[in-house]
Amino acid sequence: MATPEKINLLDFTSEKLKAFFLERGEKPFRATQIIKWIHQHGVDNFSEMTNVSKALRAELEEIAEIKPLEVAIDNQSDDGTRKWLLRLADGNCIETVFIPEDDRGTLCISSQVGCALDCTFCSTARQGFNRNLSVSEVIGQLWLAKNLLQPDHQENRVISNVVMMGMGEPLLNFENVVDAMDLMLDDNAYGLSKRRVTLSTSGVVPALDRLRERIEVSLAVSLHAPNDELRDQLVPINRKYPIKELMASCLRYMDGKAAREKITIEYVMLEGVNDLDQHAKELINVLRDVPCKVNLIPFNPFPETRYKRSSNNRINRFRDILVDAGLIVMTRKTRGDDIDAACGQLAGQVSDKSRRDVHFARIESS
């Protein structure tokens, strides 16, 4: 008889682990102990959980495991950016990127294998959609990065911020992403503040409305165009949820939050496509009533793309128009150019070499 597959405890939030232990006749505080061992101490072996009874450890050994993701490629850029290609149990690969800066360390996490949304400037989109990641595969990226970057698990945090901005549209993997973010905020797990966990969406409006009911984190929106005609081309989900609807949903999400909290508006700078003065002026109108900061992202070219990165002069001119209108604007530094840090590039190279089973998910089914 085949041995039953073990339960991966990385799939459990604190609440779900409590329920799991209650079902087995154990006290709920066991869940807190074990969540701390897994996520605070980075333990993947029950024998190290010294405050858990031997009997329970033996029982867990039989039925459960803490199964980390496997590192397929570990690239480090000259600027300190580190990018991992991680192999999942079914052979698919995803990417996770760590970006160190003077005052913070940001981990960019993937939520899906590939992506169905087909944004025309995106390297991940070229791979199509394969499947959603499980909770353990989403939180497992943070678990692994923390273990690799901070093996001593000391107090000071190497990873201070997490952005759900890697491969995939997080709101199309709603339940698993919410559970993973729950662990990021959980004081017994990673204890990050809600201002330091950011979900980035291209605008799945009904899911964004649901998110508000479930969890409070920071919000980033991949806008990339100031009018529907252009955004329909660049971010095709706009045909279903146009800019006005998206902005209204963002305002609902922000309703009741402190005035200092702002939505990050992501805007990739594509030469001659969305970077003209008239686009900046239209953008000012779109964002007039939205509490936001704008992040201008120099395009990171990848093979076979039709787009080019806007020149620095053009980006500066675009920024100045927005700033003169009173908007808060940052220009993202290009990072990790030497290690293909554009989202989806590394996984794209690997999957291009092997035959992949690509299932194009229908947006309508979300």
Binding residues for ligand SF4, rule: CB under 6 A, are 115, 117-119, 122, 124-125, 167-169, 202, 222
- Taking the least distance from each CB to ligand SF4, the nearer of 15 and 245 is 245
Q: How far is the CB of 170 from ligand SF4 (least distance, A)?
A: 9
Q: How far is the CB of 331 from ligand SF4 (least distance, A)?
A: 19
Alpha-carbon separation of residue 264 from 74, 133, 219, 278 (angstroms): 29, 25, 6, 21
d(CA 121, CA 306): 8
- Taking the least distance from each CB to ligand SF4, the nearer of 113 and 125 is 125
> Is 115 an annotated catalytic residue?
no
Q: How far is the CB of 248 from ligand SF4 (least distance, A)?
A: 20
Alpha-carbon separation of residue 254 from 64, 289, 336 (angstroms): 40, 12, 32
* Residue 2, C-beta contacts closer than 8 angstroms, at least 6 positions apart: none
- Taking the least distance from each CB to ligand SF4, the nearer of 145 and 363 is 363
- Taking the least distance from each CB to ligand SF4, the nearer of 190 and 267 is 267
Strands (DSSP E) found in 238-361: 263-269, 292-298, 328-331
d(CA 64, CA 105): 32
Q: How far is the CB of 329 from ligand SF4 (least distance, A)?
A: 20
Q: How far is the CB of 75 from ligand SF4 (least distance, A)?
A: 20
How many distinct helices (H) and strands (E) make up the chain? 11, 14
d(CA 232, CA 203): 12
Residue from 108, 115, 250, 343 carrying the catalytic annotation: 343
Dihedral through CA 221, CA 171, CA 189, CA 254, nearest 10?
A: 50
Strands (DSSP E) found in the chain: 7-8, 64-65, 70-76, 82-87, 93-100, 105-108, 112-114, 129-132, 161-164, 197-201, 218-222, 263-269, 292-298, 328-331
* Inter-residue contact 143 to 39 (CB < 8 Å): yes
Sign of the alpha-carbon torsion through 185, 189, 190, 193: positive
Q: How far is the CB of 198 from ligand SF4 (least distance, A)?
A: 14
Length of the chain: 366
Alpha-carbon separation of residue 131 from 49, 86, 109 (angstroms): 33, 15, 15
Residue from 93, 95, 108, 292 carrying the catalytic annotation: 95
Q: How far is the CB of 112 from ligand SF4 (least distance, A)?
A: 8
* Inter-residue contact 158 to 150 (CB < 8 Å): yes
> Is 343 an annotated catalytic residue?
yes
Known catalytic residues are 95, 343
